[in-house]
Amino acid sequence: MASLNKRKPVIAGNWKMNKTVAEATELIVDLKKLLDDARGADVIVCPPLTALSAVSHALADTEIALGAQNMHWEKSGAFTGEVAPAMLRELFCHYVILGHSERRAYFCETDEIINRKIKAALANHLRPIFCVGETLEQRNAAQTEAVLAVQINEGLRDIDPVGLRQIIVAYEPVWAIGTGLTATPIMAQTAHAFIRGLLENLSDPKTAQSVRIQYGGSMKPENAAELLAQPDIDGGLIGGASLDADSFAAIVKAATLTT
Ligand code: PGA
């Protein structure tokens, strides 16, 4: 396929509920040294909310972009514990992870809620990193494609091609997250190609070809290159391995080699 190399790889670190401000700042100092010449991939870090401001300052002179891990869809109001899109923009966040399986499973986020959040992010010039993926039970019951279809079609409901082009999709099989189990490159490629087909149904071939689809789920330096070599895998959403500067930088390097 001629178009496959046109998508710049994007590697995002999802730090989850890890790193104090001091630890976060230290990690950025190390990453800056290691990623000095990593121009072939877009790099994003998504620290916890408390560290966003400090990390934003620490990234000011770099090409590394800042993302948040969650967001409410309303502008402001009585939503104790939540954060609004404009509050993230104020900290120079350009991305926000939405629909992560941990938020779906532990915080009851539905496709409808995720759809509202995606629309709010786009309205506020934040690029969603929109996560989808099946559980082990669903995969074993041959429901992977049906589950992905619902998550994509409902999560992206009423979003036009202009909006879709702003979105990064992250395919994260739930059974691979934090487990050390990784989808094989073929398994992941099959799911990514299926997702791209769904995106095409929602828009047009050009839009679908332009959307970057990351793989997530125990991606690490040892398996990154073979996953990233697949034609429809355009990057990674990295949890555990993003907490260590050396391993995150090694994955970024693997991504730059695919370009
Ligand atoms: P993991 O997490 O790399 O630790 O499996 C990925 C994610 O949840 O985004």
From residue 182, how far is each of 29, 54, 101, 185, 197 by CA, in Å?
A: 29, 32, 16, 9, 23
Question: 112 to each of 84, 155, 170, 189, 213, how far by Cα in Å?
Answer: 18, 7, 18, 27, 21
How many angstroms does the Cα of residue 150 sit away from the middle of ligand 1?
22
pLDDT band (50, 70, 90) for residue 2: very low
Answer whether 115's CB lies under 8 Å from 167's CB. no
Contacts of 18 (CB under 8 A, 6+ apart): 48, 243
Question: If we measure between CA atoms, which residue out of 231, 214, 207 comes closest to residue 41?
Answer: 214
The pLDDT tens digits of the residues spanning 87-126 come to: 999 999 999 999 999 999 999 999 999 999 999 999 999 9
Q: How far is the CA of 99 from the CAs of 128, 148, 209, in angstroms?
A: 9, 13, 22
pLDDT at 8: 96
pLDDT per residue over 161-186, tens digit each? 999 999 999 999 999 998 888 889 99
* The pLDDT of residue 39: 78
Please tell me if the CB atom of residue 235 comes closer than 6 angstroms to any atom of ligand 1. no
Mind listing the pLDDT tens digit for each residue in 62-92? 999 999 999 999 999 999 999 999 999 999 9
Paired residues of 207 in beta bridges:
none
Output the CA–CA distances (angstroms, integers) from residue 160 to 111, 185, 238, in the order listed: 17, 30, 28
Catalytic residue among 102, 109, 134, 172: 172
Give the pLDDT band of residue 259 (cuts 50, 70, 90): low
First to last CA, the chain: 14
pLDDT at 123: 98
Strands 212-216 and 235-238: parallel
Ramachandran region, residue 42 (left: φ > 0; alpha: ψ -120 to 50; beta: rest): beta
> Which residue lies with its CA nearest to atom 7 of ligand 1?
239
pTM of this structure: 0.96
* Residue 160 clears pLDDT 90, i.e. is over it: yes
Distance CA 188, CA 30 (A): 31
Distance (Å) from CA 216 to ligand 1 centroid = 6
pLDDT tens digits for range 23-53 = 999 999 999 999 977 679 999 999 999 999 9
Is the CB–ligand 1 distance for residue 238 below 6 Å? yes
Condensed to tens digits (0 to 9), the pLDDT of residues 182-220 reads: 889 999 999 999 999 999 999 999 999 999 999 999 999
The pLDDT, as a whole number, for residue 4 is 45
* Burial status of residue 187 (CB atoms within 10 A of its CB: 0-12, 13-18, 19 or more): middle
Rounded to whole angstroms, how far apart are CA atoms 92 and 66?
7
